[in-house]
Structure 1
Amino acid sequence: MLRRLRTAFATYWARWLLALVLTGLATAQVMALLPNRLVERMDLFFYDLRMRVAQPDLDPRIVIVDIDEKSIAELGRWPWSRDVIAQLVRQMTQTYQAQSVGFDVVFAEPDTSSGYGRLAQLADGPLKDVPQFARQLQALKPQMDYDARLAEALRGQPVVMGYNLSNEAGAIAKGQLPPPAFSVADLGGRALDVTHWRAYGANLPQLQAAARAGGFFNPVPDDDGLIRAVPLMAQVGEHFYESLALATARVALDGRRIKPIFLQRQDVLFEGQLRDYGALAGIAVETRPQPLFIPVERHLTTLVSYRGKGGPNGGAFRYVPAVDVIRGTYPHAQLDGRIMLVGTTVPGLNDLRATPVNPVYPGVEIHANLIASIIDGDFKARPDFAVGYDLLQVLAVGVLLGLLLPMLGPLWSIVLTLATAAGLGGLNFWLYDSAGMVLPLATALLLVASLFICNLGWGYLFEYRNRKAIVNLFGEYVAPELVAEMAANPASYNMEGEIRELTVMFSDVRGFTTISESLQPNELREYINVYLTAMSEDIRGNRGTLDKYIGDAVMAFWGAPLALPDHAARAVATALKMQQTALALNEEFARRNWPPLKIGIGLNTGQMRVGDMGSRIRKAYTVMGDAVNLSSRLESITKVYGVGVLVGAATREAAPQFAYRELDRVRVKGKHEPVPIYEPLALEQELDAGLREEVAQWHAALALVRAQQWDAAQAALHALQAAQARGLYALYLERIAHYRESPPPADWDGVTTFETK
């Protein structure tokens, strides 16, 4: 285990270090040490996306009374006279029994459309001497004073008047504000993080005094111009005022007082003075049976949970034409007892806002969404532990992907990266939908992408050099497809020396001196080139490694640098193929009047050292060891037995799928222990029946020779020679003749000793 860890560290330490650096940068971003606008914008994008994918259900509790195109076409251009507005109020509050009514419009100027003001000027001027005119005008005043008529319609009804706050240069206070929710004096010396306003455009005093409450309807866009959060409270001078949505919801719930709730100490909610000290936790509204708590964020804002795309076709709230309400023609079943908001969707009246779900979202519907959240107590908010959560997910991503991506291939890297990103996104959306938690996601996803891209880039930019090095190191020795296979995992291959079981081959041209003497230099060069090319293709075509050319000889081995479990079988198959190739070459050589080609091949399997060996001046990837030497000796004695291929016992045992002819037990130069030698013939299942019978007869004759039954052995060999003349049979007939004249010693073991290489 420890060895594996060391190997992994040696291989991946650089990429692990890079992952650590990236994770550190992401951590610094989470801790606000490296503020990044891109991350902030990405988090806003994901916040917006959560709302865009939500499918809204119609909320029947809140209705938007729309000053729409139809209403303007039938009642005349906006603004309508206060007499019409008074009729609208009476219909909403008395006919349809509204729970509460919020006006997303402001009535800051007196209504002069009735002409009463001009008549009053006449009564005080040119007609002041006509008492009858003054008396008649006084009698008509209740009908012609539209502001008074509207005030009368508002009195005693659950109506909330909207107004606007301003910080623009030169703005002045106009109209009358509603009673404040609380004042600076009520805070006991504490400060609230709240928006401050210098001026306001409020309703006429008589209208605001007659209404149940008032609320500001100022949106506060984010830096990108979209409205995601709306202030619930605002400060003007020494007083704090509630928003239109909060006031409308409070009136609908029959709420009375409002107070801020601070952390650190429990307190009875509505005792005479606010005494809690510490961080602000939210806004409390005194309602029955228990107070309503509203969590707030910076500047006493709350996030708007947008339901649907907005507008009459948005699917979240019912839009009712104002003219249908005024005329009382709208079905009571869909309007009675609802919370009603009066606003407009007409583009020319400038109450369309840019929101995350729609760039032209009706401003009145923003208030509707907030009222729904207040009533349901369903708020989306950034929890206090958001930074800790973000830090935890960044560290988890850094550990998971940082450790695993360097060790995975491209496909699994993509799978793990996508799975991690999907897991983070899925958890984030689930927490948003089920628990209302708005948690950060951008930094973690950026870290996921950065780790993946860096590992991908490392593979292409840095590991390319390793793969190129593999190609340069082994391209001369092994087939291109093996180089490609090794280049896919370059860390697993190197040229360091190691001990392995391999199969090594030596091949040599018989009678090369005679061949070289019979050819011109250019012909000899071409002869050798054609021969070596054909043999090399056979070797590399069966995943062999070319070691070197030694004049006309070829040295190769199987099992390194690419491990091959069947290296012996591949070597034997290659040797047989080379013999077939030599026969095919002889046909071409005959056409060129070149001498015929005959090769001898020796194979042996065993433990040997393989690696980069040589001097500081020149090195080569080669093999060394006793098993290598035996292969060379076997090649040199192929001509003694008149066979094309000789293999040692270890090769025969490692490649049992071939049929072999045992030739002898020999003691080669430099070896004290005798070794049996074999001639591979073909795959066992492909061996010709006649040859199989001949091999059986030969093995019987060889047993007679080793038993020193010379007569029987000689007769068997003569029979074999008559059927198929082979140098092997002639060799053993000569040995029998020799042993008849010079009998072997009594302890003869049947071993042939070679004193030369």
Structure 2
Amino acid sequence: MSRSSFADWAAKIGRGLSVASWRGLLGLLLLGVLSAHSLRFIELDVLNRLDAALYDARVRWFAQAPIDERIVVVDVDERSLAELGRWPWNRARLAELIERIFTDYGALLLGLDLILAEADESSGLPVLEALTRGPLRQNAAFCAAVEGLRPTLDYDGRLADVLRRHPVVLGFHLSTGAAATRSGALPPALPIDAGERAQATGLTDWPGHAANLPLLQQVAAGGGFLGAPVDPDGVVRRGWLLARHADQIHGALPLIMARLLLGDPALRLHFADPLPGQTTGPPLTAIELHSTRGSRLIAVDRQGAVLLPFRRAAGGFHYHSAADVVAGRLPGDALRGRIVLLGSSAPGLLDQRVTPVNELLPGVEVHANLLAGLLAGALPHAPAWTTLLEVAVLSLLALLLLRLLPRLSPQAAVGLTVMLVVLLAVLILLAWGAVGLVLPAAASLCLLLLLLALQLFFGFFVESRARRRLTALFGQYVPPELVDEMSRDPERYDMRGRSAELTVLFADIRGFTTIAEQMPADELATMMNDYLSAMTDVIRAHRGTLDKYVGDAIVAFWGAPVADPLHARHAVAAGLAMQAALPALNRLLAVRGWPPLRIGIGINSGVMVVGDMGSRHRRAYTVLGDAVNLAARLQGLSAHYEAGVIVGEATRQQLGDWPCRELDRVAVRGRAARVTIHEPLAE
């Protein structure tokens, strides 16, 4: 079948289908796409973002308000840095802090959200030891004095002595990629059966680590890795419990602390039953902590991660300044019998995380939330079977709505859809609130709303024609190439005048007056039509807004009405493309015996007024301002500098690594200060 006959056949089929058939086909297509997304055959970013937003809303709604009295954060805050000196503190100071946490305040267990990777030489002991081996080795009194001072000046040794006497869990980092080096001593790996380790193929494999000094790690009560996975939108919603390193499995800091608090229980991994014909290992589903006091099952995903049980946005845990601990200013029972995490909320130490409950949550509180959830045995979880449940719900809703909506009035159709949305939301919230079950929501909600929209579209076909007329009217003010994009979401756009940072382009034909005097009027008009069409096509291809034609000049701008964060780059790319399009146009002109055209282009960025402006007789969507005037001046300078495109300093700054040649610093009419001008080169 030829291409033309196939097109004719398809057109006949389309004309033969009724509105109901089209509605049913589109509804089933929508069901197929959403089901494919749920099964992860395709990824729809908008649904992923919506699911994340709905999940974040549930986290905030169900976040526990009461302060968890079991866990306390000793905070290296701004006040601590002001009183005790800049970070990092020497090990003697850290040893004093830890000693006070246990001896003076009676803490139960301490976890460090920091790494002690390098030897502390701030006391000067290495220098003194070098002198005893060098110039002063014959000075017995000096050597004896150094030996006497060694216990005091050996800061790492003093800290090791404190760690030996108290239950402290140290933190370490795992790394991959270019940062995958290995330094420091790792703690013992988790006691997991070799067969279970081999099956856990979904765990992230980290080839590198940055761990603590062997002297410190060997005497500590344990060690757990730090860090949490960050979702594509930059939000931390999960926390790793397990990670693979050098064929061993290590635990996160909260998991190691929880095991110590629960009596160091045995640890087993649970996996899903393998599917028929499955070639990869079965996915990890849970971690079991088994002790004489019973078993605790922690649901995890294939990567050994759990959803974090965040508490309220602020005040979920008691914070005490490290300076107050060292100075003994805390109440006597502030830390007694409690689990302590030592970390920092100081912004300068860069340990802040974006979470569903707080845009800047200290990383130590992420560990505190996970530890609290592990101890309570209450972690939100999303089992693998929820994917199949979502597909079943999608199918049920699609069949129900495709059958019922065509029979209902528009008001009844909206009412039914709203009722189903509310019912679905209630079930999702009940599942979370009752058992911490996280049910996917975005695909089902989108299906309901899109099927309603589909019904309303076909039901209001006449109104859609009125919408097209409205779009045609709207096109009087907005360039047609962007009207279609704007009409998809008209509420986002406002034609009233506003200030915005945009980029404007002026293009003008050099020597146009001479050309116009030498050509007949009809030929000149034809040539100008060809030229303006070619240049406008280039501007449209680069998402520019065509402002106006002023004789042989073209004015266009970028960044409005549709926002464009790369407006400067797109404008410069358009200017260079306009120059690149001239040779082909000139060849066509030469065939007709017409002279070749040369153009000069000026581009400038800045804050300008954009909007629907004019008189009651005629209006236009245009730009005004000093930045616009400067672009016109730059265009006028292009002939003097024999440059195809000249850009102002503001545009140059927004081009980033785009190659440019600085031309001059010039005085521009209307400006007191000189202006630096540049010529952009082919990228």
Residue of structure 2 in register with 1:44 after alignment? 52
Equivalent position of 2:156 in the other structure: 147
1:233 aligns with 2:237: no
Letter in structure 1 aligned against 2:306: T
2:217 to 208, 232, 250: 208
2:99, 2:162 within 8 Å by CA — same for their partners in 1? yes
Query: 1:361-376 counterparts in 2 under 5 A?
Result: 361-376=361-376
How far 1:158 sits from its partner (Å)?
Answer: 1.7
Q: Distance in 2 between matches of 1:191 and 1:300?
A: 9
Q: Give the counterpart letter for 1:198 in structure 2.
A: P
Deviations 1:700-739 (A, max 9, x none): xxxxxxxxxxxxxxxxxxxxxxxxxxxxxxxxxxxxxxxx
Distance change (3 Å), C-alpha of 1:13 and 1:239: closer
Relative distance call for 1:464 and 1:50 in structure 2 (3 A) is closer
State how far apart, in whole Å, the 2-side matches of 1:219 and 1:29 are: 26
Which residue number corresponds to residue 19 of structure 1?
A: 27
Match of 2:298 in 1: 294
- Report the alpha carbon displacement of residue 172 of structure 1 after superposing the two structures with TM: 2.0
Give me the whole-angstrom Cα distance separating, in 2, the residues matched to 1:102 and 1:14. 62
- 2:238–2:308 Cα contact (<8 Å) kept: yes
Q: Unaligned stretches of 5+ in structure 2?
A: 1-17, 275-280, 466-683
Counterpart residue number, 2:79: 70
Distance 1:330 1:437, change over 3 A: same
Post-superposition Cα deviations, 1:16-49, rounded to whole Å, max 9, x if no partner, equal 5543443344333333344322222221121111
Cα distance change, pair 189–289 in 1 and its aligned pair in 2 (3 A) = same
Structure 1's 278 and 394: CA in aligned 2 closer, same or farther, altered over 3 A? closer
By how many angstroms is 1:410 displaced?
Answer: 2.4
Deviation at 1:238, TM superposition (A): 1.9
Aligned equivalent of 1:244? 253
CA distance in 2, matches of 1:399, 1:165: 49
Q: Give secondary structure in 2 for the equivalent of 1:388.
A: helix
Shift in alpha-carbon separation, 1:85–1:286, aligned structure 2, 3 A: farther
Q: Which amino acid aligns with 1:139?
A: G
Identity of aligned pairs, percent? 37
1:186-223 Cα offsets, whole Å, 9 max, x none, are: 53753431111121111111110110000110222122
Q: How many Å separate the matches in 2 of 1:287 and 1:66?
A: 33
CA distance in 2, matches of 1:183, 1:378: 23
Rounded to whole Å, the distance in 2 between the matches of 1:289 and 1:429 is 33
Deviates more, 1:38-47 or 1:186-195: 186-195
Q: Please say if 1:304 is aligned against 2:313.
A: no
Letter in 1 for 2:58: R
1:241 CA displacement: 0.8
Measure how far apart 1:263 and its partner are.
4.8
From 130, 135, 139, the counterpart of 1:126: 135
Give SS of 2:185's match: coil
Q: Which digits, 9 at most, give the CA deviation of each residue in 1:121-150, with x for residues without a partner?
A: 111112111112212211221111111110
State yes or no: 1:403 paired with 2:411: no
Q: Quick check: which has more Rg, 1 or 2? A: 1
Closer, same or farther: CA 37–184 of 1 in aligned 2, 3 Å: farther
SS in 1 for 2:116: coil
SS of the equivalent of 2:323 reads helix
Query: For residues 244 and 236 of structure 2, what CA distance do their matches in structure 1 show?
Result: 20
**374-383 vs 422-431, which deviates more?**
422-431
Q: How far 1:85 moved relative to its partner?
A: 0.8
Q: 1:327 aligns to what?
A: 327
Q: Which residue of 1 aligns with 2:631?
A: none
Provide TM-score, normalisation by structure 2. 0.61
Among 83, 107, 119, the alignment partner of 2:92 is 83
Question: Equivalent residue of 1:60, what SS?
Answer: coil
Mapped to 2, the partners of 1:278 and 1:53 lie a distance apart of: 34
Question: How many residues are treated as equivalent by the alignment?
Answer: 442
Residue from 173, 176, 185 that aligns with 2:182: 173
Distance 1:11 1:284, change over 3 A: closer
Q: Is 2:37 aligned against 1:29?
A: yes
String of CA shifts for 1:40-99, please: whole Å, max 9, x gaps. 222112111111233522111111110001111111111111111111111222322222
User: Partner letter of residue 284 of structure 2?
Assistant: L
2:124 maps to which residue?
115
Distance 1:33 1:167 in 2: 28
CA contact (8 A) 1:98 1:340 kept: yes
- Give the aligned residue type for 1:350: L
Equivalent position of 1:690 in the other structure = none
- Distance in 2 (CA, whole Å) between partners of 1:222 and 1:190 is 25
Question: What is the 5 A alignment of 1:276-675?
Answer: 279-309=283-313, 314-461=314-461
- Cα distance in 2 between the residues matched to 1:155 and 1:186: 34
**CA distance in structure 2 between the aligned counterparts of 1:278 and 1:455, rounded to whole angstroms:** 43
- What is the rounded CA distance, in whole Å, between the counterparts of 1:303 and 1:53 in structure 2? 15
C-alpha deviation, 1:159, in angstroms: 0.7
- Residue pair 1:181, 1:259 contacting (<8 A) in 2 also: no
Residue 753 of structure 1 corresponds to: none
What amino acid maps onto 1:281 in structure 2?
Answer: T
Alpha-carbon distance in structure 2 between the residues aligned to 1:186 and 1:19: 47
Call closer, same or farther: CA 1:288–1:70 in 2, change over 3 Å. farther
TM-score (ref. length: structure 1)? 0.56
Question: Distance in 2 between the 1:297 and 1:464 partners?
Answer: 47
Larger deviation, residues 51-60 vs 117-126: 51-60
Matches within 5 A, 1:606-755: none
RMSD: 2.4
Q: Which amino acid aligns with 1:160?
A: V
How many angstroms does 1:262 deviate by?
3.4
Are the aligned partners of 1:181 and 1:257 in contact in 2 as well (CA < 8 Å)?
no
8 A Cα contact 1:68 1:344, kept in partner: yes
Structure-2 change in CA distance of 1:385 and 1:68 (3 Å)? same
Q: What is the SS of the residue equivalent to 2:70?
A: strand
Distance 1:217 1:230 in 2: 10
1:155 match: secondary structure:
helix
Task: Note closer, same or farther for the CA distance 1:188–1:216 as it changes in structure 2 (3 Å cut).
Answer: closer
Q: In the alignment, residue 133 of structure 2 is paired with which amino acid?
A: D
Counterpart amino acid of 2:326?
Answer: I
CA distance in 2, matches of 1:113, 1:410: 77
Q: Flag the 1:28–1:457 CA change in 2: closer, same or farther, 3 A.
A: same
What SS does the corresponding residue of 1:164 show, helix, strand or coil? strand
- The 3 A distance-change label for structure 1 pair 13 and 376 is same
In structure 2, what residue type is equivalent to 1:294? I
Aligned amino acid, residue 99 of structure 1 = L
Deviation at 1:106, TM superposition (A): 0.6
Q: Deviations over 1:636-665 (max 9, x none)?
A: xxxxxxxxxxxxxxxxxxxxxxxxxxxxxx
Question: 1:425 aligns to what SS in structure 2?
Answer: helix
Q: Which moved more, 1:55-64 or 1:208-217?
A: 55-64
Q: Secondary structure at the match of 1:359?
A: coil
Letter in 2 for 1:449: L
SS of the residue corresponding to residue 162 of structure 1 reads: strand
Following superposition, the deviation at residue 376 of structure 1 comes to: 0.7
The one-letter code matched in structure 2 to 1:445 is L
The amino acid of 1:423's aligned partner reads L
SS in 2 for 1:79: coil
* Partner Cα separation in structure 2 for residue 188 and residue 196 of structure 1: 12
